[in-house]
Amino acid sequence: MHGNLDNKQTYPLISNVVYIVFKEKSKKYNNLYICLTRVLTL
């Protein structure tokens, strides 16, 4: 039972880190996409 409590406490932390990393990566990919579309429209 103690292990379950630990999992419930650590899971939100892990998902939070994954969300932050994904947000940062999507920002970079978004910038790349904008650059590509600008090159293509020129």
Could you give the number of structural domains in the chain? Answer: 1
Q: What's the rounded Cα separation, in Å, for the pair 35 and 38?
A: 5
pLDDT reported for residue 7 = 60
CA 26-38-25 angle, 5° bins? 10
**pLDDT tens figures, 1-42:** 455 656 667 778 888 898 999 999 999 899 999 998 999 887
pLDDT reported for residue 41 = 82
The upper half-sphere exposure of residue 3, i.e. CA atoms within 13 Å in the direction of its Cβ, equals 0
Q: Residue 18's domain spans which residues?
A: 1-42
Return the exposure string of 18-34: e unless at least 16 CB atoms fall within 10 Å of the residue's CB, then b: eeeeeeeeeeeeeeeee
The reply to whether the predicted model has a pTM over 0.75 is no
